[in-house]
Amino acid sequence: MNSNTIKQKPWSRMIALVDMNAFFASIEQLDRPDWRDRPVCVTNGRTGTCIITASYEARAVGIKTGMRLREARTLSPDLIQAPSRPERYGQVSSSIMSALESITPELEIFSVDEAFLDITSCQQVYDCTVEELGQRIKTCVFNASELLCSVGISSDKTTAKWAAKQQKPDGLTVVLPENAKARLAPVPVTELCGIGSGIGRFLAQYGVLRCGDMQKIPISVLAKRFGNLGRRIWLMAQGMDPDPIHKEIKAPQSIGHGKVIPPNTIDREIVRTYLLHMAEKVAARLRRYELQAQTFAIGVNTRRGWIHRKLQSLHPTADGDQIMALADFFLDVYWDGRGVHQVHIGALDPQIRDNQGELFREDHARKDQLLATLDAVNHRFGEFALCKAPLLNRSDMPNVISPAWRPDGHRNTLKP
């Protein structure tokens, strides 16, 4: 029998990473058969000028995520612009994640188009080689979505994620446990998930540029600088990432929304309308998950960079009016009138809602009833079906589906 037969030689740990191929663009090509094999890019609405993602046909001529549409058209004059359809992407993602649970219940939804599967405990169920299991996973995804994916399989999450990138699109890469350290050795450390440029610069000070260099630095140095993350990084680079599958959705550390606005906007009322839009979105999302917050980050992005401040409300709140009062204060005190092209509001300390601190406010019960009615109407008829009058002039660009989107919990930003 093949030496990779799972039933004959179980691995002590087996992790697979499913990575969809140009996910949003592939869905657009799926739904529009005449777009298949043609360069397609997805933008945030028809008026969006920044490319969210591009099909492989577009990537082949140099079109990349984050590129401006005007620049992309110089590379591919026949480039097709597809306005983003977040609800459709979320629907397909949910179908894929649900189908993958038929492979193993040990599933971590890592992003809207990625998932980790821990196959360790069910290896004996599959009387096949590791490669055949990988193909079974790919078939499962295709049957659920009619889309292709790439799969990486190894004995830890970091190596499996790296492996999935090696043969895109529509690839399958298996890294045997005994080969993981050697396979990663020539890989730049910054190619591993979780090692950004900041950590990369710190490692470079010790001569650690590639994963094979990691033994030049004691694990204690990384632990002292980055804590448990440092210890994990040291192990990650050697094919020994200890991080388990996380099935649960962690409590939110922040809840925020941002929006691109017409470039170089200096009209205060326009900027305020966009901030009001974000304030109401943050407030509604806090209420949806029975949360509240007291510290909010409010900012506007200009040609010179972000102007942002952390501001606190008097009490923890999930009321858009109170959040907007902070935004008005921000505009009055911190914004100098320079042109804006993006706004953002984030709740930095979301916590389980506790009404104890507001029991003696006379307007508390009435405002709660009003907000509950508002949420019920918008849940039934769609986001902002009932809203403040200034929001009738809000941006018509669709909601963006975050890479961190999940089908359930606070990371599902698409629910009305």
Catalytically active residues, by annotation:
114
Please give the order of strands across the beta sheet that includes 80-83. 51-54, 40-43, 80-83
Bond preceding residue 242 cis, omega within 30 of 0 = no
CA distance 403 to 87: 13
Per the DSSP assignment, residues forming a β-bridge with 310 are: 297
152, 24, 158, 139: which is closest to 93 by C-alpha? 24
CA distance 176 to 153: 8
Instruction: Quote the distance between the C-alpha of residue 291 and its chain's center.
Output: 21
**Cα maximum dimension of the chain:** 76
CA distance 112 to 403: 5
Which residues touch 305 (CB under 8 Å, ≥6 apart)? none
344, 347, 346, 383: which is closest to 258 by C-alpha? 344
Burial (0-12, 13-18, 19+ Cβ within 10 Å), 37 = exposed
Element containing residue 275 per DSSP (H, E)? helix 268-288
